Amino acid sequence: MEHLMVRKLRGALAWCSAADDFQIGGKAREGWEKLCVPLLQSGSEKKPCCAIGCPKDAEFEIFYEGAVRPDDSISTDACSEHVGELLTDAPVHHIYLIQ
Ligand SMILES: [Zn+2]
C-alpha cells in the first residue's frame, strides 16, 4: 500500500517537473534541485536481489574491488538473506545499504 502511494507521489513530482517554475531560471528551480531531484533519484533504485531465483528486492549493494580487473570495481545487489552468499574471493568488498 505504501509503495503504491510513494509511486503515485513520485509520478506527481515528476509530472510537476515540466512546469516553467522548475526550469532553469524558474522561481522554484533551487528547491527542485535541493529537494525533489534527490527524492526522485533515491526511490528509483529498487533492484532485485542477484541471487539466482530470489524474488526479493535488494537491500545491499556489494562492490568487489580487485576481483577480475584491478582498475574495475564490479557490483552486485543482494537481499539480507543472500548478502553473505554473494561475497567472493575478491580482496576487498564494499557493502552499502540501499536506502
Ligand atoms: Zn536474495
Q: For 52-92, write each residue's pLDDT tens digit.
A: 899 999 999 888 877 655 445 578 889 999 999 988 888 88
Report the separation in Å between the CA atom of 7 and the middle of ligand 1, taken as the mean of its atom positions: 23
Contact 81, 54 (CB under 8 A): yes
How far apart are the CA of 87 and the centre of ligand 1, in A? Answer: 13
Grid cell, residue 16, equals 510537476
Domain with 20 in it: 2-97
Instruction: Using the mean position of ligand 1's atoms as its centre, give its distance from the Cα of residue 24 in Å.
Output: 42
Question: How much is the pTM?
Answer: 0.50
**Interval between CA 75 and ligand 1 midpoint (Å):** 15
- Dihedral sign, CA of 76, 77, 78, 84? positive
Say if residues 83 and 62 touch (Cβ distance below 8 Å): yes
Q: Which three cell numbers stand for residue 59?
A: 537491500
**Percent of the chain topping pLDDT 90:** 16
Query: Average of pLDDT values for 33-45?
Result: 74
Gap from CA of 40 to ligand 1 centroid (Å): 25
Count of the separate structural domains present in the chain: 1
d(CA 16, CA 78): 33
Give the Cα separation of 78 and 89 in Å (integer).
17
Burial of 46 from C-beta contacts in 10 A (0-12 / 13-18 / 19+)? exposed
* d(CA 79, ligand 1 centre) in Å: 4
